[in-house]
Amino acid sequence: MSAVESQLSKGSVAVDRSAAFLDRMEWPVMFSVLAYGVRIGVRVNDPGLANDLAPHLPPGAQCVKFSDTGHVYSLIVEENDQSGRPRGSVYVNGTPLARRLTVPAVLRAFEADVQLYVAEMAPEHVFVHAGVVSCRGRGILLPGRSFAGKTTLVAELVRAGAEYYSDEYAVLDSAGSVHPYARLLSIREKGGPGVTRHTAQALGGHAGSEPLPVGLVVVSKFRPGAEWQPQRLSPGNGALALLANTVPARRIPEVVMATLNQVVSVAAVVASERGEASSVVDPILELAAWP
């Protein structure tokens, strides 16, 4: 039994691992991830798990030599459970994010936290929780939190010919242009908690790659049977609607307000409840065609 295995078998019985304990462990795989100007450290005790990490990193992330930048994830595969499946844990700086879960659950916890951390700390971009597509060279933002149905709407818009930019974050620069955050579309399975992941191509569309000015913001939430009745919001109220979904709103409010001001000064903002996504695709694309 290696020193690490010995540590793990002892540690897995009961206790949380402090940051100091984790630092003393031997890590066969260590690297840093650089995404949107944010660097994080990653340590993995199982090379097999390391091979599975790539799809869980932010899009466009680069893996570089490990350096401790004060935000280090430690992923640990531990002993098998009673059914013989391996269990794992993930810590950030010694704080457990997920402990003794299945490996896929550990990877999801890792992915969620890494993406949120990058979204909050990115130095040159403002991340708004929103689906994004483009049409006629301008971005369409669909702000909304979980279960607002934005991924479904993004998928329908892509099927209808819009370019895919993101189903999670609108990444805005200081001029108010939106950049791709082209992770795979995560579409929830009907009646279950799981998600399936799709490329834009698999939906019959394609992904955009260039930053674009925002032409339209659609503030919308799914309600069964709701009628699509878009109302134009003022720029100020449009900025409020975006800010309510902006990740670093509290950390860098001045930057956020200036950036959102850039967006609403050029984009139309409309709001409406909506029914099925397929029923609003054409009206949204028509709105986006406004001069």
Partner 1 sequence: METYRPTTRSTQLLVQELPDEVLIYDLEVNEVHCLNGSAARVWALCDGQRTISEIAQQLGSDLEPDAAETLVWCALDQFTEKHLLEEAMDSAVAQYRPADMTRRQMVLRLGLVVALLPVVDSIISPPAALAASHGTTPTTPTTP
- By CB under 8 A, name the one of 97, 140, 158, 185 that touches partner 1: 97
Contact window for partner 1 (CB under 8 A) among 18-26, 59-67, 257-265, 270-278: 257-265
d(C-alpha 23, C-alpha 30), whole Å: 12
52-81: contacts with partner 1 (CB under 8 A) = none
Binding mask 139-178 for partner 1 (x = CB under 8 A): ------xxx--------------------x----------
Considering beta carbons, is residue 129 or 274 the nearer one to partner 1?
Answer: 129
Angle ∠(54,58,64) on CA atoms, nearest 5 = 65
Residue of 183, 56, 168, 44 lying closest to 107 (CA atoms)? 56
Query: Which of residues 25 and 255 has its CB atom nearest to partner 1 in the complex?
Result: 255
In whole angstroms, how close is the CB of 282 to partner 1 at the nearest point? 26
Residue with smaller CB distance to partner 1, 98 or 135: 98
CB within 8 Å of 3: residues ≥ 6 apart = 26
Q: Which of 99, 138, 159, 221 binds partner 1 (CB under 8 A)?
A: 99
Residue 109 neighbours by CB under 8 Å, 6+ apart: 90, 97, 98, 101
Q: How far is the CB of 185 from partner 1 (least distance, A)?
A: 13
Question: Please, are residues 133 and 200 in contact by the beta-carbon 8 Å criterion?
Answer: no
How far is Cα 61 from Cα 42, in angstroms, rounded to an integer?
A: 13
The distance of closest approach from Cβ of residue 162 to partner 1 in the complex, given in angstroms and rounded to an integer, is 20
For the record, the structure tokens of 201 come out as 């191509």
HEC string of 212-226?
Answer: ECEEEEEEEEECCCC
Using CB under 8 A as the binding criterion, the count of chain residues that bind partner 1 stands at: 47
